[in-house]
Structure 1
Amino acid sequence: MKYEEVIRRIDKYKDSDKHQPIIVDLPNVQVYNQMVKHYDVGSGINVFKDVSSFCNGEGLPVMDKLQYCLSTIGGVVFLTGLSFYLKLQGEVSLRSCLRQMLDLSCSGKLVILTLNCSCVLNHMDSRLLSSGRISIVDGEKLQPATLFFVKPCLADSAQACIKGVNNLSRLLKLLECGNGGVISIITSKTKRDYPYSMYDIEEYSSEYQVLRDRYSEFSFIDRSLGTDEQWTWLLKCIDESNEDWSLFVSANFGGVQNLANAISGFADFDSMKRWAYFLALRINGVKGNNYLSHVVSVSQTYSDFISNIFDALLSFRVEDKEYKGLYDERKLIVSKFSEYNDELECYCKQVYEKQEKGIYYLTDNTRKEKELMVELIGKYRYPLDILTKILPDLYADLSAYLKPYNYNNDYLNRYFSQYKFCKLTNFITDEMAEMVQEQSVKRQYNVWLQSRSLYVDKLEKNKDKSALYFIDAMGAEYMGFMQNRCYEVGLDFHADIARCNLPSITCFNNEFEAEFNVAGCKTYNKKELDELKHGGVETYNYENTKLPIHIVRELDILNELVAHLKTLQKGQTAYIISDHGASRLAVISEKENKWEVSEKGVHSGRCCPKTDIDEKPQYATEENDFWSLANYDRFKGGRKASVEVHGGATIEEVTVPVITISKVNKNITCRLTDNKPIMVSFKKKARLKLFVDIDSDNLAVSVNGKFYALAKTDISYQYIAEMPEVKTVGIYKFNVYEGDSLIANDMEFEVKKEGASERKFF
C-alpha cells in the first residue's frame, strides 16, 4: 500500500469504535520516522510507547508487563520498537508474538509500528490483511543490520575501532536514528544467546579482535598466536601508554630495525614481554640475523618459537654453505635461553641422530652440551688434527686444554699431547702405551725434572706482595690451558715444570704450604680438582659412566681460578703450586698386577707400603718406604678409582708445575714483516720472519704443535724461525711466546711451493 493510503487507514481506525490492535509495517527507517513524526504531535492526542522501557536490563522486553500496560491504557497508543527486539529471537518468535499482540484486548486503540517485517506479515492469515488489521507500506526495503556485540570490558578500547557503541537496551534508538549497516552494542550477551536472530550478529569478544581492527599490522596474525591473557595484557599496555604498535615496538625493543639485536635482552624479559617480542618478530620480520629469521618463519606459536630456537639448526647440514653463519648466530641466541632446560635436553637427544656429525651441532654454552661433546669425541674418536681444527669454534676451553705446551723437552711435549688426547677420547693409543711402558722402566723424568722444592725455595715469599694458590692434583697436563687463559685475561704466565715426591699423594707433597704460612703470605688451599678426581663430588663415577665427562668440570674449576687471579694488582704475584698430578689412563686401563696389598682402600692400588710386599714389584719405584707403580697397573685388591688416580709414578702423576702469575706490564706487538707467502721447495725450507717489539733471546713460535725458536737478525726487533717440518701448501696458524708467556695467539701465514704458479701457467 502507498504511504498515504495507510495514513488514511490509521486515521479511520482512530475515529472508529474498534479497539482491536492493528499492525503497520514500514519498509525502512526513513518512512518509519516519517510516520512517527506525523502522529507524535504532542498535546496528549496520541500516546507513544517505546518497547525499550519494558526491557529488564539487557534482556528483551518483558511481554507480560508490556501487554498488561497496553491493555489498560486509554486513547490511541502507538507502540514502537517491538519488531526490532523480536527479530533478535528469530522469525518464529516474531510471527508468534505479533499474532499474540493482534489478539490483545485493549481499553483504547493500539497501533503497532514494525520495521521491514513484510516477509513475516504476508504469511499470516490473509483475512488480517484484507480487513486492514495489517497494513504494509510500499517502499525500498531496509538492508538487514549487522549487530556487533562488544564485551563491556572492551568498551574503552573498542571505541577507537568502532562507531555507535551503546547498550543493548538502546537498540531501538540506534535503529530509529538510521544507524544501518553495523550497529555496535556494548553488552554481556553473546551470539549464542540469539541462535535464530534475523540480524547478522558478530562479536567483539576479545582484546585480540580490538588489536586486529585497530592496527593493520595484526590483519594477518592469527588469534592462536597468543592466549586471551596475553592479548589482554598487550592491549592494556598499548592503551595505557597511548601508543600505537610501532611505538610499542620502539619503546620495548628499540624499533623494528633493532629486533634481531633485542634478543640479547631476552633473558631479562618477563614472560609477557618475551611473548610480545615473538609477536613483534612475526609481524615485523627479522633483519640482520638469518637464523632468527628462519626460526620465526617456521614457528606458528610462541611454544614453537622457543623449541625452534634450539632445534632449527638440526634441519641444516654441516656441509651447507650457510651452516657456519647459522651456527654462530644460534650460539649467541641460545646463550640467552639458559633457563629452558627441557628444550635443551630434547635438543641434545636429537643430536645423537647426527652420529659423528653431532659434535658440530653443540656449543660450549651449557654443561649439558659440553659433556655430550666429550661423549661424542670418545665415541667417534676424532683424530687430533680434526679436534684441533674444529674445537676453537665449538668448545674453546677444550681447545685450549689440547693446545701444545713447551715443556722444553720433546719427549714430554709428545707425552702430554698424547696423554690429553687419550684422556679425552677415552682410549689408550699404541703410542701412549709404548711411552708409558718405556718410562715405567727408564723413569727419565728423574733426569729431566728437578725437585719441586728447588723451585719453591727460590720464590719470593713477601707477605704483602705474594700469595700461594695450593691447587691439589693439578698436574702438568693443564699447562697449555692455563697459559692460554692467562693470556686472554692479561696475566703474565711463567711455569717451572718439576717433579713431586713419591708416592704422589698429598701427605708427602704439601711441605711448601708451611713455608708460605711461616712467611705470612696469604694462602688459598683449593681441593676442588682433587675431590673431583676422587669422585667425592659431582656425579662422575667410572662404575656409572666410562666417559671422561669430568673434564668439563675440571676446566670450569680452572676457569674459576683464573677469574680469581684476574683480581691481582700490579706489583702482586700469585704462585700456583700443586702437590701431585693424576692419571685418567690408569683408571681406564683396568689392569691389576699379581701383588695383593693389605690396605685395600688406599690410593686406588697405585702405591703401597713396602711392608706389604717384600720383593720389588715389576714396574714399581721405591721412595719414602712406598712402592709406586710407574705403569697403569693397580695392586691387586686395591679399591678401584672412580674418576682419576694418583699415588703412582707415571709422568702425569709425578710432573707438577710451579707457576708464577702477575699482571702483564705491556702489550707486545707481533706481526709478519710482510704479507707475502712463505715459499718452499725441495731445497728451500720454510722461514718465518716476524717483527716483535721487544728485545729478547727467549722467543719462540708454535706451529702444528711443534715449537721453533725465534732468532735475532741484523735488524733490531726482526726475528726468524726456521721451520723444516712445514712443507705442505696451505694456511697455518701459529702462536708466539716469550719464555712461558703467550704473547700472540692464532696468527697466520701462508705457504706456497716455489715455482708452482709458473708450472701451472704453462
Structure 2
Amino acid sequence: MYSEYNSLEELKAQVIADWEQTGLDVSTRNRYPIRFVLFDNFRDCSQFVDYVQEEMDAIVQSVDKWIDPEYPDIMITYTELAERIQAHIKKMDGVNCVIAPFSELARFYDNDEKKTFDALLKTIKAFEASSKSFETHQRVYVPIVGLEGKMESFKNDSQSTIWRLRAEDKGLTYRLILTNGETFGVNGLEKHYTVVHNIHEWLNIWKDADKQVTPNIICTSNSIYGNAKFAQPDNAFAFVLCRDAYDFLTKGLQLQFGGMTKALGDGGNWQNLASQIDISNGFSFSKYVKNYFSITDIDSHEAFIKLWFDYPGQYERWLLARFYQLQQNGEGFICRILTKTTTLIGNDFIEQMVLDMTEIESEMVVRQYCLREAAKRNVVLREGVESTLNKRLQSIAEKYNAASALKYCTGITEKEKELAISWLGKGLISVDQIKDFYPDMYHYYATPLGVSVNIPEWLPEYMKEYKRAKVSNTYTKEVDIQIKNINGSEVAFDTWYQGFSTTRTILQGREDIEVFYWVDGLGIEWIPLIKEIIREKNSQNIFLNDIKIARAILPSKTDVNKTDLQKLLPEYEQLMKMGDLDNLAHQSTNLWPNTIIKEVKLVRDIVEEIIAKYNGKKIAIISDHGLTYLSQLCEGLGLNGVESDHHGRVAIKKNGGWTKDDNYFRLEDGTTVCALRHSSLCNKVPKGQGIHGGCTPEEVLVPIFIISSNINNTEWSA
C-alpha cells in the first residue's frame, strides 16, 4: 500500500493511526511491521526520526554497527543486511524501532542486472512479527531518502507499506564528491567539507541528527566509488564522480583555473598540483603560480624563458607553460611553440623554437631572445636539429643574402657560429652584425689590439690584418705587406722586438702581486676579449688594473719561456698553469672555422676559471708565447741540412754556421734560427694548426693582466 502526505503533520497523524488502527486489515498490518518511509531530503527524515523516537518510543538502530570494524570499507551483502534487520527486530521483542541510516547503504546495491536493491526490499517487507510483536503492534520504520525512482516498482505492491512525504523544498540535495580512495593531497578540506573515507564513516554521519553535514561531502570510499553508478536515479544526492586529480579539483572542489582544461600530455601534473593546494583560506590559481615561482607576473617572453631554465622539472615547466598560455590567451610565438612541444623535460621546446623560422618581425625578436638565453646556458641540440638549421640558414643566405640568414642566428649552435665566421671572413657581413648573438667573437674581432699606449704605431693595424686573415682563413696581401715591412730583416725585427721587455723584467720585484696564473699560448690577440670578460665581473668587485705587452724570449717556445717565468716565484713555489691554448693549436683534427670557435670558448673558460678561484688577492695573468694560424696557409721554405723544430718555425744546424738571410733571425748560440715571417723554414705547417717558435708579432708578443678588487689601481688606458 502506497500513500503520500503533503506535510510532516499529516505523516505524523498516519503514524499514530497506523499504530492504533482497528478494522478488517489490522491483522495484516500487525503481521508485517515494516514501514518504508520515503523522503525527498534529510531534513524531513531527521525530523521524522526524532518524532517516532519521542512519540512512539522507537529505538534507532544504526546500520553502521553492522559494518566489520576491521574492514570498514567492505559493503555487507544485501542478504546479510536483511538477516541483521530481521535479527534486530526479533531482539527488540515487540518494541518499535527505526533502521537508520538505511537508504545511505541500500542505494549503492546493484539494481541493474542483479536487482539486489529490489531483492533487499522484497525480503525486508516480508518479515513477520512475532506473537508478542503482533500483540504490541510493533512497527519497524525504514526511512529512505531520495530514492523515489527506485521505489517506483513497489508503489502498487499490496504487501508493502510505503509512506511518502512530499517536500515543498526539493533543493536540499547534497553534492557527493566521490573519489577512488584519495583526496590527491589537497590540504584544508575539513574546513569546508565533510570528509569520509569508508562506508562506516559514511553511515556514521547520517545517524546523528545534530551532526553538521556540509552541503558538499567528499567520500573516498572505494566501495561507494565502485557502486555509485547503481545509486541513480537519486534526488537526495548530486553525484560528482572524480576519476583523477583534475576531476577532483575542477568538478569536485569547483576550483577555478582560468579556463585551463585537461590536455592529453598532462600526465601526473594535476596530481602534483593538487598535492600543493591548500584551500583553508580559499584558492587562487594565479596567486599560487606567482608564489610558486616567486614572481609578480609572467607576462613577457623574457620572464617566461628565465623561469623555463630556472625550473627544469616536469611539473614546474608544465605549470609555467599552462599558466603562460592562459595569460596570453594561447596567442603569440611562445604559445605556438608550446603546442608543438611533445615533452617538457629536456630541450624539445628549444629545438621546436630553433626550427620555427618565423618571418614575423615581432616573433623573430622573441625567438632571438629566447635562443640566446638558451645559448648562454650551453643548451645542446640534437645533431639532426643542428644539421637542419644549418641547411636552412645556408639556403636563406643563397636565396637572399647572409644578412637575412643572420637574423635567425642566435649562437645556440656551433654551425651558426661557423657560418657567421665564414661570412665575416668573406666580407658578407660586418662584425657589428654578430655582436648580439656571438658577443665573444665580436669583442675578439672588433677591436684589433685593445691597448693604445707604449706600443709601436704599426701594431694595431697589423693585429687587425692578422685577425682578418685568420678569420677568413686566407693569407691576405695586406698581412703579407705588413709582415715584410716589420720583419723584412733581422735588423727590422730586432728594432721593434727590443722595444718590449720580457714578462719577468716587467714584473720582477712586484711584491704587490700575490698570485701568477700562466696561460700557455695566450697572445696579444686576446686582449680585447679578456678585457670584456673582466669588465663583466666588475659587479663582483673584480677589476682590471693594468695591461702590459711583453715579449717572449726566442725561440718563442714553452720550455724556454716557462723557465724564465718560473723565476718570478720563489724556488719552492711552482708556477700555476691555467688553461692551454697551445695544446688546442697542435691538434691534428683542427678545422677552420671550428678551431676559432673552440679558441674563443677556451679563452672565456680559462678567465672564468681564474676568476672563480679569485679570493680578493692581486693577481697577474701571464703567458709564455702567442700563436700564429697563418703559417699553415703558407708554403714552407724547405731549407736543407737542418733539423726542424715546431714545424719549421725554428731550425737547428748542428754543423756549420748560419749565413745572414732575411727569412730567419739568428740566435746567439749560433746553431738556432727562428722564422721571421709566416713561411716556416722547413716543411709546411699542417693544415688547420696553430704554431709558435717564430718571430711574428702574434708569436712573440704576450699580454700581462693585473687584476685586483681595487678599482682605483687602474693605470692603463685603451
TM-score, normalised with respect to structure 1: 0.66
Letter in 2 for 1:133: S
Query: In structure 2, how many angstroms separate the alpha carbons of the residues matched to 1:484 and 1:334?
Result: 18
Task: Say if 1:615 and 1:220 are closer, same or farther in 2 by CA, change over 3 A.
Answer: same
User: Per the alignment, in what secondary structure is the counterpart of residue 400 of structure 1?
Assistant: helix
**Counterpart pick for 2:178 among 139, 145, 149:** 149
Q: Does 1:191 align with 2:230?
A: no
**Counterpart pick for 2:666 among 594, 618, 623:** 623
**Counterpart pick for 2:630 among 585, 606, 628:** 585
* CA shift digits 1:330-384 (9 cap, x unpaired): 646875xx4x8466989756643444566655667xxxx4755542334444555
Q: Which structure has the higher relative contact order (CA within 8 Å, separation 6+)? A: 2
**Alignment correspondent of 2:239:** 201
Letter in 2 for 1:24: F
Q: Does 1:230 align with 2:272?
A: yes
**Counterpart pick for 2:53 among 27, 40, 44:** 40
Q: Does 1:393 align with 2:393?
A: no
Query: In structure 2, how many angstroms separate the alpha carbons of the residues matched to 1:37 and 1:58?
Result: 28
Q: Is the 8 A contact 1:604 1:641 kept in 2?
A: no
**Counterpart pick for 1:552 among 580, 589, 600:** 600
Structure ranking higher in strand proportion: 1
Q: Does 1:504 align with 2:504?
A: no
Q: CA deviation at 1:229?
A: 5.2
Task: Say if 1:315 and 1:632 are closer, same or farther in 2 by CA, change over 3 A.
Answer: same
Query: In structure 2, how many angstroms separate the alpha carbons of the residues matched to 1:662 and 1:112?
Result: 92
**Alignment correspondent of 2:693:** 647
Task: Say if 1:463 and 1:39 are closer, same or farther in 2 by CA, change over 3 A.
Answer: closer
Query: In structure 2, how many angstroms separate the alpha carbons of the residues matched to 1:86 and 1:534?
Result: 86
Task: Say if 1:23 and 1:371 are closer, same or farther in 2 by CA, change over 3 A.
Answer: same
**Alignment correspondent of 2:511:** 464
Q: CA deviation at 1:388?
A: 2.2
Query: In structure 1, how many angstroms separate the alpha carbons of the residues matched to 2:203 and 2:573?
Result: 85
Query: In structure 2, how many angstroms separate the alpha carbons of the residues matched to 1:643 and 1:415?
Result: 21
* Percent of aligned positions that are identical: 14
Q: CA deviation at 1:145?
A: 5.6
**Alignment correspondent of 2:525:** 477
Q: Does 1:58 align with 2:96?
A: no
Query: In structure 1, how many angstroms separate the alpha carbons of the residues matched to 2:77 and 2:253?
Result: 37
Q: CA deviation at 1:389?
A: 0.7
Q: Does 1:102 align with 2:117?
A: no
Letter in 2 for 1:58: D
Task: Say if 1:258 and 1:370 are closer, same or farther in 2 by CA, change over 3 A.
Answer: closer
Task: Say if 1:617 and 1:381 are closer, same or farther in 2 by CA, change over 3 A.
Answer: farther
**Counterpart pick for 1:450 among 497, 502, 511:** 497
User: Per the alignment, in what secondary structure is the counterpart of residue 148 of structure 1?
Assistant: strand
TM-score, normalised with respect to structure 2: 0.69
- Stretches of structure 1 that go unaligned for 5 or more consecutive residues are 669-737, 743-762
Task: Say if 1:105 and 1:609 are closer, same or farther in 2 by CA, change over 3 A.
Answer: farther
Query: In structure 1, how many angstroms separate the alpha carbons of the residues matched to 2:103 and 2:45?
Result: 12
**Alignment correspondent of 2:107:** 87
User: Per the alignment, in what secondary structure is the counterpart of residue 541 of structure 1?
Assistant: coil
Task: Say if 1:119 and 1:388 are closer, same or farther in 2 by CA, change over 3 A.
Answer: closer
Q: Residues 145-544 of structure 1: matches in 2 within 5 Å?
A: 146-149=175-178, 157-162=188-193, 167-170=201-204, 172-173=206-207, 183-185=217-219, 187-189=221-223, 191-198=225-232, 199=234, 200-203=238-241, 217-222=256-261, 227=269, 230-235=272-277, 256-257=296-297, 274=316, 278=320, 281-282=323-324, 285=327, 295=334, 299=338, 304=344, 307=347, 308=349, 312=353, 315=356, 317=358, 320=361, 323-324=364-365, 327-328=368-369, 331=372, 338=377, 341=379, 351-352=389-390, 353-355=392-394, 369=412, 371-381=414-424, 383=426, 386-402=429-445, 403-405=447-449, 412-429=459-476, 431-432=478-479, 446=493, 449-451=496-498, 459=506, 461-462=508-509, 464-465=511-512, 471-482=519-530, 490-496=543-549, 498=551, 500-501=553-554, 503-509=555-561, 512-513=564-565, 516-517=568-569, 524=575, 526=577, 528-535=579-586, 541-542=589-590
**Alignment correspondent of 1:741:** 717
User: Per the alignment, in what secondary structure is the counterpart of residue 94 of structure 1?
Assistant: helix
Letter in 2 for 1:231: L
**Alignment correspondent of 1:745:** none
Letter in 1 for 2:116: S
* CA shift digits 1:671-690 (9 cap, x unpaired): xxxxxxxxxxxxxxxxxxxx
Q: CA deviation at 1:464?
A: 2.3
User: Per the alignment, in what secondary structure is the counterpart of residue 202 of structure 1?
Assistant: strand
Task: Say if 1:443 and 1:209 are closer, same or farther in 2 by CA, change over 3 A.
Answer: farther
Q: Is the 8 A contact 2:675 2:694 kept in 1?
A: yes
Q: Is the 8 A contact 1:230 1:272 kept in 2?
A: no
Query: In structure 2, how many angstroms separate the alpha carbons of the residues matched to 1:43 and 1:140?
Result: 23
Query: In structure 1, how many angstroms separate the alpha carbons of the residues matched to 2:110 and 2:649?
Result: 95
Q: CA deviation at 1:583?
A: 1.8
**Alignment correspondent of 2:153:** 123
**Alignment correspondent of 1:133:** 160
Q: CA deviation at 1:478?
A: 2.6
Query: In structure 1, how many angstroms separate the alpha carbons of the residues matched to 2:500 and 2:187?
Result: 83
**Alignment correspondent of 1:697:** none
Q: Is the 8 A contact 2:579 2:606 kept in 1?
A: no
* CA shift digits 1:3-29 (9 cap, x unpaired): 469655664566558534655352534
User: Per the alignment, in what secondary structure is the counterpart of residue 449 of structure 1?
Assistant: helix
